[in-house]
């Protein structure tokens, strides 16, 4: 059920990207319409119960995250005080213990960030990472660069025809293939899974033409790549891509809309 709700949410958000203001009524109207396309009855009591459980689960996750942040902030404050006293008293043992605590705290913070900003399936960045880490507080780009949208255009067909397991393996393969191809060309890049079948790649050290040539070559390689499951199923996916330059402090919404429009028109 949670995967279905995520799919409906992704479709709804994608449809509303070009809206400057999204009223709750508009969002729920779109959500209800898209829910019917995946055979979910919003009035079904079992659905309502499942939805409530999911909301409670998500709320508990956020609450746990905030509690961990509060706990870590308290540890840092105490560590600062202890460090000051240890330095004054030249207490080496206490300083060593504080260093050990800080190392442990660093690992906990890294884990928390991973849980919040990393896609579970691919271990790449997720959509939250884009809006909370990569962009500034106004959802503007922090630096100039080139953005690429990669779309598996027949993903829904593959998912429906061959099942979630094979579709997920395809996503993992694409993610790894993109990363390795960009690394081989010494590109400095960031990649994020934006929707189920779409990836955004951000490149800050190359010209648009250079990026375009590489992405075209990657697409050709992917199109000619045949994937085979352990059960002997063979498939070849189809792909689309779009590219746009962006400037420092430029509104990301404008760029993302351009990318999705180009994909739609291709």
The distance of Cα 20 from the centroid of its chain, to the nearest Å, equals: 22
Q: Are strands 145-152 and 198-203 parallel, antiparallel or unpaired?
A: antiparallel
pTM score, two decimals? Answer: 0.66
Residues ≥6 apart with Cβ < 8 Å to 203: 145, 146, 147, 148, 182, 187, 188, 189, 211
146 contacts 245 by C-beta, under 8 angstroms: yes
Dihedral-angle region of residue 232 (phi above 0 means left; psi in -120 to 50 means alpha; beta otherwise): left
Task: State which H helix or E strand residue 228 sits in.
Answer: strand 227-228
Going by the DSSP 8-state scheme, the letter that residue 238 receives in this structure is -
Digit-coded pLDDT (tens) for 52-67: 555 555 545 555 655 5
Token code pair at residue 54: 């999911």
Structure tokens at 10: 């992704």
| b/e map 54-85, b = 16+ CB within 10 Å | eeeeeeeeeeeeeeeeeeeeeeeeebeebbee
Domains and CATH numbers, the chain: 2-117 (no CATH), 127-265 (3.30.70.270)
The 10s digit of each residue's pLDDT in 73-115 is 556 656 666 666 666 666 666 656 656 666 766 666 666 666 6
pLDDT per residue of the chain (266 residues) written in tens, 0 to 9: 556 666 666 666 656 555 555 555 665 666 666 666 655 555 556 555 655 555 555 545 555 655 565 565 556 656 666 666 666 666 666 656 656 666 766 666 666 666 678 888 999 998 888 988 899 988 899 999 999 999 999 998 888 888 888 889 999 999 999 999 999 999 999 999 998 899 999 998 888 899 999 999 999 998 888 887 777 778 889 999 999 999 999 999 899 989 988 988 87
- Taking CA atoms, 167 is separated from 138, 185, 222, in Å, by 35, 27, 15
Q: Which of 213, 217, 218, 173 minimizes the C-alpha distance to 197?
A: 173
């Amino acid at each position: 059920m949670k995967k279905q709700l995520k799919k409906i949410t992704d479709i709804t958000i994608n449809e509303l990207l070009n809206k400057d203001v999204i009223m709750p009524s508009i969002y729920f109207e779109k959500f209800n319409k898209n829910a019917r396309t995946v055979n979910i009855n919003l009035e079904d009591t079992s659905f309502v119960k499942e939805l409530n459980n999911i909301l409670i689960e998500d709320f508990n996750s956020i609450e746990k995250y905030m509690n961990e942040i509060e706990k870590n902030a308290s540890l840092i404050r105490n560590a600062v005080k202890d460090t000051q006293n240890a330095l004054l008293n030249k207490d080496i043992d206490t300083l060593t213990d504080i260093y050990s605590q800080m190392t442990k705290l660093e690992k906990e913070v890294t884990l928390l960030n991973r849980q919040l900003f990393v896609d579970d399936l691919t271990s790449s960045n997720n959509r939250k990472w884009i809006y909370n880490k990569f962009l500034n507080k106004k959802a503007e780009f922090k630096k100039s660069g080139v953005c690429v949208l990669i779309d598996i255009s027949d993903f829904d067909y593959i998912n429906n025809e061959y099942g979630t397991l094979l579709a997920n393996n395809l996503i993992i393969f694409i993610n790894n293939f993109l990363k390795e191809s960009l690394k081989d060309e010494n590109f400095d890049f960031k990649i994020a899974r934006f929707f189920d079948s779409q990836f955004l790649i951000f490149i800050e050290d190359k010209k648009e033409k250079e990026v375009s040539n590489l992405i075209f070559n990657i697409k050709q390689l992917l199109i000619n790549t045949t994937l085979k499951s352990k059960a002997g199923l063979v498939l070849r996916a189809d792909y689309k891509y779009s590219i746009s330059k962006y400037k420092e402090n430029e509104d990301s919404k404008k760029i993302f809309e351009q990318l999705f429009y180009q994909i739609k028109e291709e």
